[in-house]
Amino acid sequence: MKKILHVLLVLLLAINCKQSRPGWIDKDRLLNRQPEEWLALGGNYLMQHFSPLEQINRDNVRDLGFAWEYDAHNTVSNVHRGLEATPIVVDGIMYTSGAWGFVYAVDARTGKEKWRYNPLVDASYGRRVCCDVVNRGVAVWEGRVYVGTLDGYLACLDAKTGTEIWKKDSFTDRTKSYTITGPPQVAGNVVIIGNSGGEFGVRGYITAFDLKSGEQKWRFFIVPGDPKNDPEHVEVGLAARTWDPNSNWEAGGGGTSWGESAYDPELNLLYVGTGNSTPYPIWYRSPNGGDNLYLCSILAINPDNGKLVWHYQTTPGEIWDYTSTMNIVLADIQIDGAQRKVLMQAPKNGFFYVLDRATGKLLSAEKYTRANWASHVDLKTGKPVKTEQGWYKDEPKLVMPTLSGGHNWQPMSFNPLTGLVYIPEHNLPMVYKQVEHYNWKPDQYSTAIDYNVLFDFKSIRHQVKDSTDTIPSESLLAWNPVTQKAAWKVTDGAPDGGTLSTPGLLFQGTRTGYLKVYDAHTGEKLKEIFTGTGIMAAPVSYSLDGEQYISVMAGYGGAPMCCYPQDAVFHKYENVGRILTFKLGGIATPLPPLVKEIATPAPPDGEIRRDLVSKGFLQYDSYCAACHGNIGSNRSSLHPDLSKLSEAKHKLFKEIVLGGILSQNGMASFSNSLSVEDVEAIHAYLLDAQTKSYAKESSIVLTEKTN
């Protein structure tokens, strides 16, 4: 008896000890909803981005105010990059990630830092991203924090101290432009990580590592490799039958996985969304066509062995960048009188999908936004019925949605009480035009479409049927997944951030610097808080000492700098990346410093090589504009305006661009892409632009020399 008591005591102590260890999340905690915690990116294993907390509600939300902030400015680069992660909160500590794969652990009551992890990423990886050096979050499991770093490692950290326990290389080929921006996902005894780089031409795959030892357990290739080599596993061999054997294998094919996955512990299935093709036009990729599995698909994988259990392809024969890596939500809902275990996704292609998550059977798919590339999805075949309007091989076409999608990575949320899904929806038309000649280059955008005509609607005027066809719009869309119809939508005030649901409320940040709160049933706006910082990420909610908090990562960036809207708040306030937390009775949010208008410095003396200016413009457009934007636009708080360079920077121009002397600031060397002559041409173009804007600002009349 004494012995039994002793064993019980030891067991109790062991359980207590686990619970008191920082970052202790396990299957039991994840399955038994703990409303005061936020245990996974989507809250718990259902990934609904829903919190049952309702201390903050319709009646008192007007009293919501600032509680604390944490500066997530990182040190790899002295600019403030986009923040996209959803934090995880457990036992009073918040764990989240920032640019490059930095990890932050902070006291969830006060915002005081516990530790910060610097992944020591070589800044040259910053050149390999389509959409900023972002990171979409960490996984926390049994006292450890897992993060994918931009340069391809999966790091396992001690949740108490932030020290590295192990770090594993997940890349198969470092000569290709792979990066990691997506979050890890714990499933069974493994943690999986995917990768990014589809726009540059890589072959997507996911890798599973043992949670404890970090030993690689399996790897699943999403698209086939060159058939002259044996397929790595059965499934990718089957996928090869849906590709032309003479495909452009060098370009990688794409299919990278970088979104929020999900895991159902009862079915023991891991759900992974996969990305778009490289290059986009199938005639340059897989000339004889084919579905090109497993591009733009949802894969259900047994995490114990890495075997595919089922797959569903949202966009067969993909040619539009219709990534299917948007967040996956699990729910048990009534459909036709029966309770169904479903999986829901609103991928870029404009259709909202409801699948049986045990079998992968398509239950319904309807358009949640304007989409003209397909008329509908045939429920018998499970495939979209494509239209002529989507096919841009023979002439440029007006296509909806665009390459940024009807919905992108910003998480949608599901409220099981209203039965609605809340989607940040983008309704944007675009002109798709192929480039005339396609050559894959490892470190350049390699999509084979012409970015100069994206919004040149005059060129396709005859295709415009309705005056609204070329007018962009966006909404916070409340979507009923059972009836596949909109319940309501909010179209004003830039409703573009990820969403958080609570029983009666809906929270969303905006690029215009607001955190907004809506009535979950009606869409009525109940509260807005101005923060001065653009918010893209999804908020979370948690409770400590009986007090409910709302918290969100604020900091703008992400998609290409060329396309940032004029209403983005970073034009006015410095883009200071921070965690912002709110509670009832809170105060006004501290605003970041105002952006200082920088006067154009006098250009250095000397002749400008006018014969190089137009070549320089083209090179600037290909290599510089993705980060620095179009010359003359005021984006000083994100990246320097290169038409306002100081005399010292002009002197060091070649050393910066080719020598990489500012690589620790995030400006990597371009010596493997640009020649000395290329750099001289870019410099001539910039000197010309600076001379013109200096003259304009100082009202000097220029006399062009004609020698």
- Residues with catalytic function: 321
Give min distance, CB of 199 to Ca ion, in A. 5
Among residues 198 and 534, whose Cβ is nearest to Ca ion?
198
From 157-165, 317-325, 352-360, 668-676, give the range in contact with Ca ion by CB under 5 A.
317-325
Among residues 326 and 684, whose Cβ is nearest to Ca ion?
326
Among residues 448 and 569, whose Cβ is nearest to Ca ion?
448
Q: What is the residue whose two structure tokens read 């060091």?
A: 652
Give min distance, CB of 314 to Ca ion, in A. 14
Residue 486: strand pairing partners = 479
Among residues 281 and 306, whose Cβ is nearest to Ca ion?
281
For residue 245, what are its two tokens? 């054997």
Residue 66: strand pairing partners = 582, 587
Among residues 201 and 481, whose Cβ is nearest to Ca ion?
201
Among residues 276 and 463, whose Cβ is nearest to Ca ion?
276
Of 212, 169, 171, 208, whose CA–CA distance to 192 is shortest?
Answer: 208
How many residues bind Ca ion (CB under 5 A)? The answer is 3
Taking the C-alpha atoms of residue 417 and residue 537, their distance in angstroms, rounded to an integer, is 23
Among residues 445 and 507, whose Cβ is nearest to Ca ion?
445
Among residues 276 and 415, whose Cβ is nearest to Ca ion?
276
Sheet with 499-501: strands ordered across: 499-501, 505-509, 514-519, 525-530
Give min distance, CB of 169 to Ca ion, in A. 24
Taking the C-alpha atoms of residue 207 and residue 222, their distance in angstroms, rounded to an integer, is 11
Query: Do 176 and 195 contact (CB within 8 A), yes or no?
Result: no
From 30-38, 92-100, 271-279, 474-482, give the range in contact with Ca ion by CB under 5 A.
271-279
Site for Ca ion in 197-236 (CB under 5 A): 198
450 contacts: CB under 8 Å, gap ≥ 6: 396, 433, 434, 435
Among residues 80 and 348, whose Cβ is nearest to Ca ion?
348
One-letter amino acid identity for 66?
Answer: F
First to last CA, the chain: 104
Give min distance, CB of 299 to Ca ion, in A. 17
Q: What is the residue whose two structure tokens read 């994100």?
A: 638
CA atoms 686, 691, 696, 698: torsion sign: positive
Give min distance, CB of 340 to Ca ion, in A. 31
* DSSP-derived pairing of the beta strands 93-97 and 88-90: antiparallel
- Residue 380's φ and ψ, nearest 5 degrees, are -70, -50
From 131-139, 160-168, 318-326, 696-704, give the range in contact with Ca ion by CB under 5 A.
318-326
Q: Does 276 bind Ca ion (CB under 5 A)?
A: yes
Task: Give me the residue whose beta carbon is nearest to Ca ion.
Answer: 276
277 HSE (CA, 13 A, CB side): 30
Q: What is the x/- site pattern for Ca ion, positions 162-181, by CB under 5 A? A: --------------------
Taking the C-alpha atoms of residue 438 and residue 446, their distance in angstroms, rounded to an integer, is 8
Q: What is the residue whose two structure tokens read 């934090």?
A: 87
Taking the C-alpha atoms of residue 367 and residue 632, their distance in angstroms, rounded to an integer, is 39
* DSSP-derived pairing of the beta strands 153-158 and 397-399: unpaired
Give min distance, CB of 635 to Ca ion, in A. 22
From 192-200, 289-297, 344-352, 491-499, give the range in contact with Ca ion by CB under 5 A.
192-200
* DSSP-derived pairing of the beta strands 374-378 and 113-117: unpaired
Peptide bond before residue 539 is cis, with ω within 30 degrees of 0? no
For residue 257, what are its two tokens? 């996985």
Of 457, 461, 490, 485, whose CA–CA distance to 473 is shortest?
Answer: 490
Taking the C-alpha atoms of residue 98 and residue 41, their distance in angstroms, rounded to an integer, is 14
Among residues 34 and 276, whose Cβ is nearest to Ca ion?
276
Secondary structure class of 400 (helix, strand, coil): coil
From 180-188, 316-324, 511-519, 617-625, give the range in contact with Ca ion by CB under 5 A.
316-324
Give min distance, CB of 323 to Ca ion, in A. 5
From 69-77, 191-199, 291-299, 497-505, give the range in contact with Ca ion by CB under 5 A.
191-199
Give min distance, CB of 181 to Ca ion, in A. 11
Among residues 449 and 478, whose Cβ is nearest to Ca ion?
449
How many helices (H) does the chain have, and how many strands (E)? 9, 36
One-letter amino acid identity for 161?
Answer: T
Q: What is the x/- site pattern for Ca ion, positions 639-678, by CB under 5 A? A: ----------------------------------------
Give min distance, CB of 320 to Ca ion, in A. 10
From 182-190, 313-321, 435-443, 449-457, give the range in contact with Ca ion by CB under 5 A.
313-321
Query: Do 624 and 36 contact (CB within 8 A), yes or no?
Result: no
Give min distance, CB of 364 to Ca ion, in A. 26
Q: Does 37 bind Ca ion (CB under 5 A)?
A: no
Residues 204, 80, 686: CA angle, nearest 5 degrees: 90
Among residues 280 and 556, whose Cβ is nearest to Ca ion?
280
Taking the C-alpha atoms of residue 561 and residue 280, their distance in angstroms, rounded to an integer, is 21
Secondary structure class of 133 (helix, strand, coil): coil
From 118-126, 270-278, 415-423, 673-681, give the range in contact with Ca ion by CB under 5 A.
270-278
Cα torsion through 497, 501, 507, 511, rounded to 10 = 0
3-state class percentages of the chain: helix first, strand second, coil last, to nearest 5: 20, 30, 50
Give min distance, CB of 438 to Ca ion, in A. 17
Give min distance, CB of 259 to Ca ion, in A. 11
Q: Which of 37, 69, 235, 321 binds Ca ion (CB under 5 A)?
A: 321
- Residue 124's φ and ψ, nearest 5 degrees, are -65, -20
Q: Which residues contribute to the site for Ca ion (CB under 5 A)?
A: 198, 276, 321
